[in-house]
Each structure stands twice: as structure tokens, then as C-alpha cells.
Amino acid sequence: MSEYIEKEALRQFPIRKDHYDKENGDEHFIFGIEAVLEYAENLPAADVAPVVHGRWEQIKEWATKAKYRCSVCGREIMSAVKVNIEKYPYCHCGAKMDLEG
């Protein structure tokens, strides 16, 4: 499974050529850090979108069924009284339904 990071988080690496212990620091080590960061800066961006998190909110309940609404887009679904979150882990809008109620 691929993992993604934000380039901006990498740019925040605390040891940089203009921010290190110049008395005890190793200049070659600093050049190495700068080379890796430059390499990462030039990598192409992956085609990914941030995960949107939501929850199913129960809006109506009958004896055996209930109506739930996506907290992100408002889409409504019918389900058994207790939504089995494993059965509907995502809404059609793409929201991952993992927020606690």
C-alpha cells in the first residue's frame, strides 16, 4: 500500500543549511540533507485527494429500519436500526464514515 506525505511537512525539517549548530555541525551532513530535500522537492506530485471524514447521523427510526444522513453531503440512506459501519464505510460523496457520533 502506498503512503503519501505532504511536501510542506518535509520542508519543515528542523535542520537546514541556514538553521543548524554551525560550531559542532558537520557541513557534509547538512549538504546531504539539502540534497535529499531538493530531490523530494522535484518529485512529481501524486494524484491523491485528502480524506474527508464523516458519520452517519440517524434522522428517523421505525420498528426495524432507520434513515441516516451523511454528515458531509446530506445524502440519506435506509438501513437496519443500527447502521453496520462496515457495510457503509464510505458515502457516495467519498467521505470516510469513521467519525465518532
Of positions 20, 34, 67, 73, contacts Zn ion by CB under 5 A: 73
Nearer to Zn ion, 29 or 90 (CB): 90
**Shortest Cβ 1–Zn ion spacing (Å):** 24
Q: Which sign, positive or negative, has the C-alpha torsion 17, 19, 21, 22? A: positive
CA distances from 98 to 27, 45, 54, 91 (A): 46, 27, 6, 11
66 is an interface residue for Zn ion by CB under 5 A: no
Beta bridge partners of 43: none
Of positions 30, 66, 91, 97, contacts Zn ion by CB under 5 A: 91
**Shortest Cβ 70–Zn ion spacing (Å):** 3
